[in-house]
Structure formats: structure tokens, C-alpha cells
């Protein structure tokens, strides 16, 4: 009798916490209705079936709070696993939230060249939107893509893809192309107070303007990067202006700073980029790598076209950039096309840890190559 009573009580309590105001998502099927009707949403311990998106396309000014464990089922598809869209929206991860992409089920050591893998987050937000406090575990491919956005701040995220590191994952099951934050065609974007363990660019800014990246810790990455030239015909898509990276730390991985223009792209420009107060250690290939001959090819295949002047890099400021690379790595590499690099001002740039030589075919003011 007592047990029955207890069971009834527990059911009653559960029902009352679940009932709340009808704005808590605990089942995948609830998402569409709740997102379209509520302005203050909770997402609580959810399983998202493979091949489906947790689509938080929120009403104007709405907020969503992510709690508990959100797990995404396995399916070979392009994603995204999570869509966050809206104007003036706030998305907050509560303490102990985990979004688990189950990347280890996809990783095959081939990244975007292997089985089809979903991107994790796609974000399109504006009008002072804020997305904060999310804990992202095991991205199958790119972790966070921000595109077509303006006036948006992302802060206090952790991206933990450490299980995909080559020396941690099972043989040939490591991960590649797990960019932390990719920013496309966006303006007035702030990325701050992030911790990223991954295997490709920690942050990669591709097009747009007025982007600030502040206080990011990167581990195992290909660096805090700029990568411009993804279009053959749109100058706008190949244009990046007014970007600042500050107060950040890069530990291990391929490059600390990587700026690249794509040799197989149409025309554009990179103008007014500042890196300031960056420290790094233990880089495996380059400390600072700036190249105007980049081509995206599978791992270990070589492509070294001559640098091209399709995307000039002007007004590149480096201030107080210090760090170390491993003994065989190149400290500073600059490969510009004739006349396509100008007005670079570098002060307090020192890279140690190696006897290897710098290699520069353009000399920034204030730097001894
Ligand atoms: C998310 O929902 C919005 C609004 O219903 C829809 O337009 C959009 O295509 C959906 N996106 C994804 C990735 O499912
Ligand atoms: C950004 O907008 C362009 C043009 O509408 C569209 O083709 C592209 O898919 C959008 N990007 C993302 C990641 O949503
Ligand atoms: C850039 O984003 C804006 C929305 O902010 C969109 O209207 C435009 O089509 C996008 N351009 C490209 C090249 O994707
Ligand atoms: C531009 O066109 C060339 C030749 O068709 C192609 O090889 C290359 O991949 C294209 N580049 C981009 C960025 O789409
Ligand atoms: C870059 O910043 C300058 C100075 O604030 C501003 O005048 C310019 O419009 C910005 N460029 C873009 C593309 O927003
Ligand atoms: C360069 O970009 C920064 C933001 O990163 C901005 O504050 C500054 O005004 C820009 N300078 C010029 C000359 O546009
Ligand atoms: C240089 O950058 C480091 C790392 O961000 C910082 O601790 C130091 O205070 C900076 N030095 C100066 C002179 O600003
Ligand atoms: C690339 O080379 C490394 C080191 O030799 C090797 O471990 C890795 O399996 C290779 N990757 C591919 C995709 O061949």
C-alpha cells in the first residue's frame, strides 16, 4: 500500500514538473510546436534521432535554456545537428549541459573526404543575439558555423573534441576538419571566452567584417585563422575586413596563426586584420603561417601552386605575439604573391624553440625575418 502511494506521489510530482508551462522540450516530437509558440524555452535531456536537426529557430526576442544531456543519433548526412536562428535571441547552456554529437561513430581519419558527416551547429542570428555556455562534445565534422549573421555574441563555450586527437583515438579513427568556429558573411560578431580542443582551425574567419575574437584557448588545432577565397565569382564572398584576435592562447597542433588565401578562387581582399597578445607553445608545423597559395586538399596530398594575387592582404597588424614551436617546425612563414601584401606592421613578434629558419618573401615593417 505504502509503495503504491509512493509511486502515485512520484508520478504526480513528475507530472507537475513536466507540465510546467508547456515550454520544456524533452522529446524530439515536441520541438516544432514549442519553438513556434513559446518565448522562454527549456531543452532538457533530449535524444535527437540521427538525420534530424534540433531546430531552435526562435521567435523574435525569445530565449532557450539547454539543460542536461542532449545526444544526437548516428546517420551519415550533412547536418546540421543544431540550428540556432533568430533576432534578439538568447540561448544559454546551464551548468553541466552536454551536447554530444557522437563524433567517434563517424571519425575515419579522413574528415570531409571520408564518409558523409554532419556539421554540428549552424547559427544565423542578429539584433544583439547572445549564445552562451554551451558544452559541445565530439563533433563529427565542423563544430560551429556562423553565417549570414550580424550583431551576435558567442561566449563561454567549451568544445571538447579531444577524443578525436590522433594519439588518443583508435587507429585510423581520428578526427579531421573539426573546425571550432567558422564565420561566414557576418558582421559585428564577437567570439569570446572559449575553450576549444579540436583538430582543425580553432577559429576561422572567412568573410564579412567587424569580427572580434577574444580570450580563446585552443588545443591541438590548426590555429586562429583567416581563410578567404571560397567563391569564383563573388567579390563580396571573398572579402574580409576589420578583424581582431586578442588575448588568446594556442597549445600544440599545426599552426598558431594561419592566414591563407585560396589560389583556386576568384578575387577579393583581406584588409585591416589585427592579432594582439597571443601566446603559443609546442606547434608542430608552423608558428605563424601566411600563404597566398592555399588549396584545400586531402590530408598528406601535396599541392603547392605559386602564390596568387587574387586576394591581397593589406594592413595586417601583429602586436605582442610570442611562442614556441617544436624543433623541426618553421617559426614564421610568409608566402605572398608579387605586390599582393602591403602595409603589414609587426611589433613584438618572437617565435622560439627551433633552429629552423623563417621563410619570408615579403617583409613586414618592424619584423626581422
Ligand atoms: C528550421 O526551422 C525553420 C522554420 O520552421 C525552417 O525554415 C528551417 O528550414 C529549419 N532548418 C533546419 C536546418 O531544419
Ligand atoms: C547564407 O545565405 C546564403 C544566401 O542566401 C545561402 O546560400 C547560404 O546557404 C547561407 N548560409 C548558411 C550556412 O546558412
Ligand atoms: C550574406 O548575409 C545576408 C544576410 O545577413 C544575405 O542577405 C546575403 O545573401 C548573404 N550573402 C551571401 C553571399 O551569402
Ligand atoms: C573555381 O573554378 C575552378 C575551375 O573551374 C575550380 O577548379 C575551383 O574549384 C573553383 N573554385 C572555387 C572556390 O569554387
Ligand atoms: C571597418 O572599420 C572602419 C572604422 O570603424 C569603418 O569605417 C568601416 O566601415 C568598416 N568596414 C566595414 C566593411 O564594415
Ligand atoms: C580596423 O578594424 C578595427 C576592428 O577590428 C577597427 O576598430 C578599426 O577602426 C579599423 N581600422 C580602420 C582604419 O578601418
Ligand atoms: C603580451 O601578451 C601576453 C599574453 O596575452 C600578456 O600576458 C602580456 O601582458 C602582453 N604584453 C604586453 C606588453 O601587453
Ligand atoms: C597521413 O600521414 C600520417 C603520418 O604519416 C599518417 O599517420 C596518416 O594515416 C596519413 N593520413 C592519410 C589520410 O593518409
| Ligand 7 atom closest to Cα of residue 320 | 1
Q: How far is the CA of 225 from the centre of ligand 1 (A)?
A: 30
Q: For ligand 7, say whether the CB of 215 is within 6 Å of any of its atoms.
A: no
241-254 per-position pLDDT tens digit: 999 999 999 999 99
145 contacts 121 by C-beta, under 8 angstroms? yes
Taking residues 6-32, what's their average pLDDT? 69
Taking residues 44-62, what's their average pLDDT? 98
Q: What is the per-residue DSSP string for 292-308?
A: EEE----TT----PPP-
Distances (CA, A) of 141 to 38, 145, 201, 327, 354: 31, 11, 12, 30, 32
State which of 150, 242, 271, 314 you would mutate to test the pocket of ligand 5, scoring each by most atoms of that ligand within 8 A of its C-beta.
Answer: 242
Residue 3: the pLDDT is 53
185 contacts 164 by C-beta, under 8 angstroms? no
Q: For ligand 3, say whether the CB of 45 is within 6 Å of any of its atoms.
A: no
Residue 21: the pLDDT is 80
Taking residues 174-178, what's their average pLDDT? 98
| 37: enclosing H helix or E strand | helix 31-37
pLDDT at 9 exceeding the cut of 70: no
Residue 16: the pLDDT is 41
| Ligand 8 atom closest to Cα of residue 113 | 13
| CA 315 – CA 69 distance, rounded (Å) | 45
75-109 per-position pLDDT tens digit: 999 999 999 999 999 999 999 999 999 999 999 99
Q: How far is the CA of 346 from the centre of ligand 7 (A)?
A: 15
Residue 20: the pLDDT is 60
Nearest CA to ligand 8 atom 4: 300
Residue 303: the pLDDT is 83
> In the chain, count of helices (H) and strands (E)?
2, 28
Q: For ligand 5, say whether the CB of 210 is within 6 Å of any of its atoms.
A: yes
Distances (CA, A) of 264 to 155, 184, 261: 34, 18, 9
Residue 210: the pLDDT is 98
Question: Residue 13 in 3-state DSSP?
Answer: helix
Nearest CA to ligand 7 atom 1: 277
Quickly list H helices, 170-302.
none
State which of 206, 232, 261 you would mutate to test the pocket of ligand 4, scoring each by most atoms of that ligand within 8 A of its C-beta.
Answer: 232
Q: How far is the CA of 258 from the centre of ligand 7 (A)?
A: 20
Residue 247: the pLDDT is 98
Taking residues 293-311, what's their average pLDDT? 92
Confidence of residue 302 (pLDDT cuts 50, 70, 90): confident
280 contacts 287 by C-beta, under 8 angstroms? yes
Residue 269: the pLDDT is 98
pLDDT above 90 as % of the chain: 92
**Bridge partners, 347 (sequence order):** 319
Taking residues 343-355, what's their average pLDDT? 97
pLDDT at 203 exceeding the cut of 60: yes
| CA 238 – CA 313 distance, rounded (Å) | 12
pLDDT at 367 exceeding the cut of 80: yes
| Ligand 8 atom closest to Cα of residue 110 | 13
Residue located via cell numbers 542536461: 68
The closest alpha carbon to 316, from 223, 214, 244, 228, belongs to 244
| 2: enclosing H helix or E strand | helix 2-19
Q: How far is the CA of 252 from the centre of ligand 2 (A)?
A: 33
| CA 225 – CA 349 distance, rounded (Å) | 17
The closest alpha carbon to 243, from 279, 204, 215, 216, belongs to 204
Taking residues 209-233, what's their average pLDDT? 98
Mean pLDDT score of the chain, rounded to an integer? Answer: 95
Nearest CA to ligand 2 atom 5: 148
- The total of other beta-carbon atoms located within 10 Å of residue 8's CB is 10
- The total of other beta-carbon atoms located within 10 Å of residue 293's CB is 18
| CA 349 – CA 257 distance, rounded (Å) | 12
Phi, psi of 14 (to 5 degrees): -60, -45
pLDDT at 57 exceeding the cut of 80: yes
Let me know if 280 is exposed, middle or buried by CB neighbors in 10 A (0-12, 13-18, 19+). buried
Residue 299: the pLDDT is 82
Confidence of residue 271 (pLDDT cuts 50, 70, 90): very high
Nearest CA to ligand 6 atom 8: 242
Nearest CA to ligand 3 atom 1: 148
Taking residues 44-72, what's their average pLDDT? 98
State which of 257, 275, 277 you would mutate to test the pocket of ligand 7, scoring each by most atoms of that ligand within 8 A of its C-beta.
Answer: 277
Nearest CA to ligand 2 atom 1: 148
Q: For ligand 3, say whether the CB of 186 is within 6 Å of any of its atoms.
A: no
**Chain mean position to CA 184:** 11
Amino acid at each position: 500500500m505504502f509503495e503504491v502511494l509512493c509511486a502515485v506521489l512520484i508520478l504526480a510530482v513528475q507530472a507537475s514538473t513536466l507540465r510546467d508551462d508547456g515550454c520544456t522540450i524533452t522529446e524530439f516530437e515536441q520541438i516544432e510546436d514549442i519553438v513556434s509558440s513559446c518565448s522562454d524555452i527549456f531543452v532538457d535531456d533530449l535524444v535527437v534521432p540521427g538525420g534530424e536537426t534540433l531546430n531552435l529557430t526562435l521567435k523574435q526576442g525569445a530565449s532557450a535554456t539547454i539543460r542536461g544531456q542532449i545526444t544526437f543519433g548516428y546517420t551519415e548526412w550533412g547536418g546540421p545537428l543544431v540550428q540556432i536562428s533568430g533576432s534578439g535571441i538568447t540561448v544559454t547552456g546551464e551548468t553541466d549541459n552536454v551536447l554530444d554529437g557522437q563524433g567517434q561513430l563517424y571519425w575515419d581519419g579522413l574528415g570531409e573526404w571520408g564518409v558523409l558527416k554532419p556539421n554540428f551547429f549552424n547559427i544565423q542570428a542578429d539584433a544583439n543575439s547572445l549564445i552562451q555556455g554551451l558544452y559541445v562534445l565530439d563533433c563529427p565534422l565542423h563544430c560551429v558555423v556562423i553565417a549570414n549573421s550580424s550583431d551576435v555574441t558567442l561566449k563561454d563555450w567549451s568544445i571538447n573534441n579531444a577524443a578525436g586527437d590522433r594519439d588518443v583515438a583508435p587507429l585510423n579513427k581520428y578526427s579531421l576538419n573539426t573546425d571550432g568556429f567558422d564565420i561566414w558573411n557576418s558582421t559585428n560578431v564577437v567570439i569570446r571566452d572559449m575553450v576549444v580542443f579540436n583538430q582543425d582551425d580553432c577559429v576561422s574567419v572567412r568573410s564579412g567584417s567587424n569580427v572580434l575574437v577574444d580570450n580563446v584557448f585552443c588545443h591541438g588545432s590548426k590555429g586562429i585563422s583567416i581563410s578567404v577565397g571560397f567563391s569564383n565569382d563573388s567579390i563580396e564572398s571573398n572579402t574580409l575586413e576589420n578583424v581582431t584576435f586578442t588575448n588568446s592562447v594556442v597549445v600544440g597542433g599545426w599552426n598558431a596563426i594561419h592566414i591563407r588565401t585560396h589560389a583556386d578562387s576568384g578575387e577579393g581582399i583581406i584588409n585591416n586584420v589585427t592579432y594582439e597578445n597571443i601566446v603559443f607553445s609546442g606547434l608542430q608545423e608552423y608558428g605563424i603561417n601566411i600563404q597566398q597559395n592555399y588549396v584545400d586538399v586531402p590530408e598528406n596530398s601535396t599541392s603547392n601552386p605559386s602564390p596568387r594575387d587574387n586576394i591581397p592582404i593589406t594592413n595586417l597588424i601583429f602586436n605582442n605575439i610570442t611562442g614556441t614551436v617544436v624543433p623541426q617546425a618553421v617559426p614564421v612563414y610568409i608566402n605572398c604573391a608579387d605586390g599582393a601584401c602591403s602595409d603589414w606592421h609587426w611589433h613584438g613578434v618572437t617565435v622560439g624553440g627551433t633552429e629552423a629558419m623563417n621563410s619570408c618573401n615579403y617583409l613586414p615593417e618592424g619584423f626581422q625575418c
